[in-house]
């Protein structure tokens, strides 16, 4: 039987490999360090994210979701969830993030295997503002603050915004409400959802 001779290219590559060393890495013995521009798993920054749901809107594969809950301390919260097993690392969430693209950012993390698929998710929590009349969710408190900071003094054109802001600063004057306890006007000076705002403004009691 005739043994085929190696081609010239193969000989050159073999010699190069002897001089340069192997092309493959020693992973998993030696951890792999991805390229700085590698697009890995996006991660929320709980301090910067305001819970606006913008990233959830743009995610093409529904890898971001949320649940509005009342926690064990009876605090209303929005839980933002990132499903790491569904994510395709496209970066749309980061590009659309209203918090200067910092609320969620692609990282270099790429080792994402799980034995239990229910673990393939990361969550953060943001406190919610509820309507003081019907209890519906308005937005997260951080999102109201973000809007207020964006529009500046125009905040004072909307009771929900200025009351949220004053409450967060601890300088709300409850007498504003008590001095208006007639003809239903006091309801207008409350943190309200859009429906209750419309009803308290347009309905004469």
- Residues of this chain that interact with ligand SF4 (CB under 6 A) are 42, 44, 49-55, 59, 61, 63-64, 80, 82, 87-93, 96-99, 103-104
Minimum CB distance to ligand SF4, residue 120 (Å)? 12
Give, in order, the Cα–Cα distances in Å from 44 to each of 10, 14, 49, 74, 96.
48, 46, 7, 24, 13
Which residue number, 143 or 165, has a Cβ lying nearer to ligand SF4?
Answer: 143
What is the spatial distance between Cα 205 and Cα 194, in angstroms, rounded to a whole number? 18
Query: Residue 129 Cβ, how far from ligand SF4 at the closest point, in Å?
Result: 15
Q: Which residue's beta carbon is nearest to the bound ligand SF4? A: 103
Residue 96 or 133 with smaller CB distance to ligand SF4:
96
Which CB atom, from 89 or from 162, has the smaller least distance to ligand SF4?
Answer: 89
Which single residue is written with the structure tokens 């943190």? 191
Nearest approach in angstroms of CB 180 to ligand SF4 is 35
Of the pair 104, 191, the CB lying nearest ligand SF4 is at 104
Residue 97 or 129: the one with the smaller Cβ distance to ligand SF4 is 97
Radius of gyration in angstroms for the set of CA atoms belonging to the chain, rounded to a whole number: 27
Of 103 and 159, the one with the shorter C-beta distance to ligand SF4 is 103
Minimum Å gap between C-beta 16 and ligand SF4 is 38
Give least dist CB 26 to ligand SF4, A: 30
> How far apart, in whole angstroms, are the C-alpha atoms of residue 90 and residue 76?
31
Q: For residue 53, give Cα distances in angstroms to 50, 66, 70, 84.
A: 9, 8, 18, 17
Alpha-carbon distances, residue 42 vs 68, 142, 160 (angstroms): 22, 21, 33
Q: What's the min distance (Å) between Cβ of 70 and ligand SF4?
A: 20
Q: Are 105 and 55 in contact (CB under 8 A)?
A: no
Say which residues have a Cβ less than 8 Å from residue 15's Cβ, sequence separation at least 6.
Answer: none
């Amino acid at each position: 039987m005739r043994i085929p001779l190696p081609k010239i290219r193969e000989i050159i590559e073999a010699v190069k490999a002897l001089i340069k060393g192997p092309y493959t890495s020693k992973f998993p013995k030696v951890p792999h360090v991805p390229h700085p521009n590698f697009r890995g798993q996006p991660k929320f920054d709980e301090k910067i994210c305001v819970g606006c749901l913008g990233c959830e809107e743009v995610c093409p594969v529904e890898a971001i979701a949320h649940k509005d809950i009342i926690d064990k301390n009876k605090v209303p919260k929005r839980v933002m969830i990132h499903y790491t097993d569904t994510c395709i690392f496209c970066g749309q969430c980061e590009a659309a993030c209203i918090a200067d693209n910092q609320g969620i950012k692609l990282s270099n993390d790429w080792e994402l295997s799980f034995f239990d698929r229910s673990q393939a998710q990361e969550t953060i929590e943001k406190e919610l503002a509820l309507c003081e009349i019907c209890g519906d969710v308005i937005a997260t408190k951080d999102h109201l603050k973000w809007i207020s900071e964006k529009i500046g003094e125009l905040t004072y054109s909307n009771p929900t915004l200025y009351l949220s802001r004053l409450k967060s600063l601890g300088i709300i004057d409850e007498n504003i409400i008590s001095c208006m306890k007639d003809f239903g006007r006091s309801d207008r000076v409350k943190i309200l959802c859009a429906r209750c705002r419309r009803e308290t403004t347009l309905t004469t009691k």
